[in-house]
Structure 1
Amino acid sequence: MSTTGVASTEAPTDSPAPYRWRWAALFVILAAEVMDLIDAVVTNIAGPSMRADLGGNASTLQWLAAAYTLSMAVGLVTGGRLGDIHGRRRMFLVGAAGFTLGSLLCGVSVSPEMLIAARVVQGLFGAVMLPQGLGMIKEMFPPQESQKAFGLFGPVMGLSAVCGPILAGWLVDADYFGTGWRMIFLINLPLGAAAFLGALRYLPRGRSGEKPRLDIPGMLLVSLAALLIIFPLVQGREYDWPVWTFLMMGASLIAFVAFGAYESRRSRTGRDPLVVPGLFRKRGFSGGMTLGLVFFSTMQGFMLVFNLYTQLGLGYSPLRAGLVMVPWSGGMIVGFGIAQGVARFGRTVLQAGALVMAVGVFGVWLTLDMVGSGVGPWQLLPSLLVTGIGMGLLMAPFFDIVLASVEQHETGSASGTMTAMQQLGGAFGVAILGTAFFGLLGGGVASAVDHHAPELRRQLTAAHLAPAAQQRVVADLRTCASDRAVAKDPAATPASCTRLEKHTRSAVTSPQDGARVPAALRATASSAFRTGFGTVMKTVLWIVDGMLVLTFLLSFLLPRHARPEGAAGH
């Protein structure tokens, strides 16, 4: 058996010694993951500052994130295969250098177009860098250590997702050397240089052997298919889900089918495919891809809606919203530690993690239901901690179980496909739960205004507004609050709010009432926002729990243990 843990009839019976610098190399690989995960979220926090400095419209903010996600997703499968062809260490170095250069271009951008183009450069080189890590871990670590190595991805992903917004908010506010938002990209220069130098020193050189040829038609087909599905998922809500978004997703399915047929035909004729068709005949890999798609959708979607709730619904600053999620990250580290101690239970650990995470999400729902709109960080701490523990338990064995049955020559293709699945899952989660959240939000806030309407009418009566004027003002407030809650550009004033202001001025009969009525409307709108956001958040949490139950059920597609196929006797 080789150090990759893959059974082979040609392998010697004695495993060679594990790679000496494998743990140092692991931290170099994790450093690259951290750069990617942080850069994927920082523009959500720093976007308004970027727009204020460089200009642009509301869609500019969408494209700062979408350009990175799209280019990353389109290039990942090809990036993984390039590691098979040219060596994973070499392609990691190319990706790290290019990603660092892209970060420099972001930091010195002088226009929105230049910044978006630089984000594309980051995404493309990130797609070359990231898939190499999973393959090298599988090469470097013996089977008894591989779960611990793969399991570190869970806590690192969680910490990066939580610390990214905190770091971005801090760097923008600190304005070091007058750089403002630019520092969130310039900080990648020393990080990227450290990753590059660490890779030169510690990453293993690839084994010599027959190199596959790059499948150019397959690369174009899968890139087109990825673009057709990711673009409408990322941009659909921005354009209110027009017909063309659904047509693009349908065309994506056709392109993926064509890609699969082409890859199978290419493999049958003895040529090297971009994605090895045999991967999807392996129970561990195909089941893991399905489970991972659902799980990463759940994780990214939950993080999105929870951050929207804390910042928009509860009025937290970006820094405070990030700090609220610290127990979640701490819980993941605890869950990872527990998973190492019970690793012998294999798939059961992953299943327990899905159930514990579902219990934690239900705890968040219960907290919101009991405390209401006055909920604070300390009240959310226990349930977020449990949620994090569940996620740590789930993530620790995931990669090891999925990649255990992948053979050496399939590793690059499998790693790129799995990393692309993470990106696709994240886009699905943001699209599904983000759309559900905003789809329910307008009605939720409007219903909350109705709930507060009797008290508002009492205050309007005290301010001497006639009943007909009260009815008109309350109706306008209902529409204004709903429109403001779902506005794509928070800085813009909805037409309904302008109409509310006009009707309010015409309804008041004295200067004193002119001050009392707007104050009552602001107080009612604020209370309705908090109540409405809380109601919608509780509904979305039920969807999240349903997705976690589906994750649990899909886990039965995986092998019971992270071991090579045919190694039952071990």
Structure 2
Amino acid sequence: MEQPVSATTEHVTTPTVPASATTPPAAEPFPEPDPRRWRMLPVILSAMFVAMFEYFVVNVAAPSFQHDLHTSDAGIELVVGGYGFAYAAGLITGGRLGDLLGYKRMFVLGMAAFTVASLACGIATSSAMLIAARLVQGATAAAMVPQLLALINVVYPLHERPRAMAWFGATIGTGSVAGQVLGGVLLEANLFHWTWRPIFLVNVPIGAIAVVLAIRWLPDTRGAQRPRFDPVGAIAIAAAIGLALAPLILGRAEGWPLWTWISMAASVPVLIVALRWESRLGRAGGSPMVDLALFKERTFSIGLALSGLMLAMFGGFMLAMTLFLQGGMHMSPVRAGLLFGPLGVAFAGSSMLARRVSGRFGSRVIAIGAALSTTGLVLLGVVLTWRGTDLAAWQLLPSMMLVGAGNGLVLPSLVGSVLAGIRSRNAGAASGMLVTAQQFGGAAGVTVLGTVFFSALGSHPSGFGDFVTAMRWVDAVDVVTIVAILGLAFLLPKQAAGMAARR
């Protein structure tokens, strides 16, 4: 039997999860919840906010990098995409290190290193320095983000977990939209004539405060029986993810040279070798980076697929809408960013509503959210077709708000479903796998829908009508994706998302 984590973090899981992925029997009493748990929630959620903020904010600052640092097109791609590459490639390892060293320790180390990397980005004097700092920033984000989901999973009692997950979902939405809105505002304000530098330096005080409060308030969740680190699995899995992600992030802008196809093809055998190693290590009684027994649970497997597809749809939608507003409607970064504000409000509001709805409808709330997003995307297609070149920006708002509200309902409920029943010793690794699926999906969505947009737009667009056509094609692909998500949502056990809320 697995040893308890601590007097404040041991938890009981649902009885529907296989023995290989469950905690001790439910007959054991619940421990007294940590009295600091709601005080610590904003601290750990700050990691998700700054990680999402940095993922989106660089898009609006790319021209400034090119002007100030004389960065080449390839360099701009590495500044923008290098962060996402290092972030996604390191998430599973970051999660397992949390299981090994303790979630508090990894959170503090990750946040401190992320803060230093953000400072390095902000004071960079060359494109090479900025690229290197962005890669480190992504890797340190991978160290801290899995810990926040693991902490939620082990610190909060089952009946309080949906509330914490609702705040997690709201943070994803606000962080993503803040990257668009606050990034544009900071560039427009040009504080101290620092041009793009404040978009990185703003993380320094946030990170410093989070580190101090985390040291004071976060509980030590390291278990008495810790899993051993698997360096072979860590390297092999990171290599497989990296080989698949690098072409997705850089391929479209580079024109899909030969190396991108070789890299994607090589990722498959490397992943097969990595999974065989993990399977053999697990059978030998070791501690694999990825516990393959988790995939025997239908909720976990389907939930990972849904997470990837949902972020693919949302990431591609955000990119295409940004290109449409700034390129087609000639909006400034600030004005375009502000138009995303209502989407962020709808996202955050529905995330807070998700915990109540999931208590009544269980995992069907995921289908409800997908249906809302489907309605928004269909409405967008109707508006684009109806108004055409006479389209006004405000006419996009109802569609954008429906998409935001749908995603806000889905994400916290989906995260709660995927992590339901994960025992404490695997909470970090499972969280890393979940966020990896989301980041991989987001990168794939941006690549696929970006390719669709630019292919429909053509190399020499003749006017706004070409942008409308390109956006309609992206919208059509997104509708197909969200309908697939809607179908998968009905394969989840109904009680998966709602059981914790009812207990």
| TM-score band, normalised by shorter chain | over 0.9
Residues 313-392 of structure 1 mapped to structure 2, 5 A cutoff = 313-344=328-359, 345-392=361-408
**Is the partner of 1:143 in helix, strand or coil?**
coil
Shift of 1:338: 3.4
Alignment correspondent of 1:164: 179
Q: How does 1:175-324 map to 2 (within 5 A)?
A: 175-324=190-339
Aligned equivalents of 1:334 and 1:206: distance in 2? Answer: 31
Q: Displacement of 1:3 after TM fit? A: 3.0
Equivalent position amino acid for 2:11 in 1: T
Give runs of ≥4 in structure 1 deviating > 6 Å: none
Looking at structure 1, the residues matched to 35 and 463 of structure 2 have their Cα atoms a distance apart, in angstroms, of: 57
What CA deviation, in whole Å up to 9, does each residue of 1:386-438 have, x standing for no partner?
A: 22221222123111111102122211110111111111111100111111111
- In structure 2, C-alpha distance between the alignment counterparts of 1:241 and 1:66, rounded to whole Å: 15
1:552 maps to which residue? 486
Change (3 A) 1:564 1:410: farther
Partner letter of residue 71 of structure 2? G
Per the alignment, residue 403 of structure 1 pairs with 419
Question: Contact (CA 8 Å) 2:188, 2:334: kept in 1 or not?
Answer: no
- Which amino acid counterpart does residue 277 of structure 2 have in structure 1? Y
Matches of 1:352 and 1:230 in 2, distance apart?
Answer: 31
Most deviating of 335-344 and 169-178: 335-344
8 Å CA contact retained: 2:96, 2:429: yes
Q: Tell me, in whole angstroms, the C-alpha distance in 1 between the residues paired with 2:463 and 2:156.
A: 51
TM-score, with structure 1 as normaliser = 0.82
Cα RMSD, aligned residues only = 1.9
Moved more, 8-17 or 49-58: 8-17
Q: 1:79: which partner in 2?
A: 94
Contact preservation (8 Å) 2:167, 2:352? no
Give the whole-Å Cα distance in 1 for the aligned partners of 2:474 and 2:34. Answer: 46
Q: Is residue 74–residue 226 contact of structure 1 (8 Å, CA) maintained in 2?
A: yes
Which of the numbers 105, 109, 112 marks the counterpart of 2:127?
A: 112
1:534 corresponds to which residue?
A: 468
**C-alpha separation in 2, matches of 1:177 and 1:9:** 57
Looking at structure 2, the residues matched to 339 and 266 of structure 1 have their Cα atoms a distance apart, in angstroms, of 39
- Matched letter for residue 85 of structure 2: L
Which residue of structure 2 lines up, in the alignment, with residue 427 of structure 1?
Answer: 443
C-alpha spacing 1:563/1:338, structure 2 compared with 1 (3 Å):
closer
Q: Is the 8 A contact 1:285 1:403 kept in 2?
A: yes
| CA 1:9–1:210: 2 relative to 1, 3 Å | closer
> Bigger shift: 20-29 or 4-13?
4-13
1 or 2 for the larger relative contact order (CA 8 Å, sep ≥6)? 2
Match of 1:462 in 2: none
State yes or no: 1:3 paired with 2:19: no
What are the superposed Cα offsets for residues 14-68 of structure 1, whole Å, 9 maximum, x if unpaired? 2112221112222112111111111112221112112211112111111101111
Residue 455 of structure 2 aligns with an amino acid whose one-letter code is G
Match of 1:490 in 2: none
- Offset of residue 343 of structure 1: 2.0
Secondary structure of the structure 2 residue equivalent to 1:204: coil
CA positional deviation for 1:196: 0.7
Counterpart of 1:413? Answer: 429
TM-score, with structure 2 as normaliser: 0.93
Letter paired with 1:326: G
| Greater displacement, 80-89 / 65-74 | 65-74
Larger Rg: 1
In the superposition, relative to structure 1, how do residues 564 and 357 fare at CA in structure 2: closer, same or farther (>3 Å)? Answer: closer
CA distance in 1, matches of 2:398, 2:470: 21
Contact 1:441 1:536 survives alignment (8 Å): yes
Change (3 A) 1:9 1:116: closer
Contact 2:363–2:497 under 8 Å retained in 1: no
Secondary structure class of the residue paired with 2:494: coil
- The letter of the residue matching 1:551 is I
Q: Give structure 2 stretches of 5+ with no counterpart.
A: 5-9, 16-22
**Larger displacement relative to structure 2 (431-440 or 197-206):** 197-206
- Matching residue's letter, 1:106: C
User: Which deviates more, 71-80 or 85-94?
Assistant: 71-80
User: Identity rate of aligned residues, in percent?
Assistant: 38
The structural deviation recorded for 1:563 is 6.5
**Aligned-partner residue type, residue 533 of structure 1:** F
Offset at 1:4? 5.2
Q: Counterpart amino acid of 1:130?
A: V
SS in 2 for 1:144: coil
Check conservation: 1:285, 1:405, Cα contact below 8 A. no
1:343 & 1:354 partners in 2: Cα distance? Answer: 14
Q: Deviations over 1:79-106 (max 9, x none)?
A: 0000011000000000001000001111
